Amino acid sequence: MIGLSFVEYVMICKMEEAKRLLLDTEKSVNDIALSIGNSEGNLNRIFQRYLKQSPGQFHKQLLNKELRLFVNS
């Protein structure tokens, strides 16, 4: 990723792992934050900065999309 500092790159990698865990597991946001080496507050800040939504909002959005796909199939 060109133009990113090392810290930004690490934050994006952690956010991507958190997104995967939100999609693939039943873990709480706090448990996910701890598993990637962050606090829940820090994970919230990262999501707000890069996705303009909280991890909880992101998870809810994923669930709504999955539900619509299930209902429409």
Report whether 29 contacts 42 (CB < 8 A): no
pLDDT tens by residue, 12-52: 899 999 999 998 998 999 999 999 999 999 999 999 998 99
pTM > 0.85: yes or no: no
Cα angle at 35 between 40 and 27, to 5 degrees? 75
In terms of DSSP H, where are the helices of 25-52? 29-35, 40-51
- Going from the N-terminus, what domains does the chain have, and what CATH number goes with each? 24-72 (1.10.10.60)
Contacts 24+ apart (CB under 8 A), 59-62: 59/22, 59/23, 59/29, 62/22, 62/23
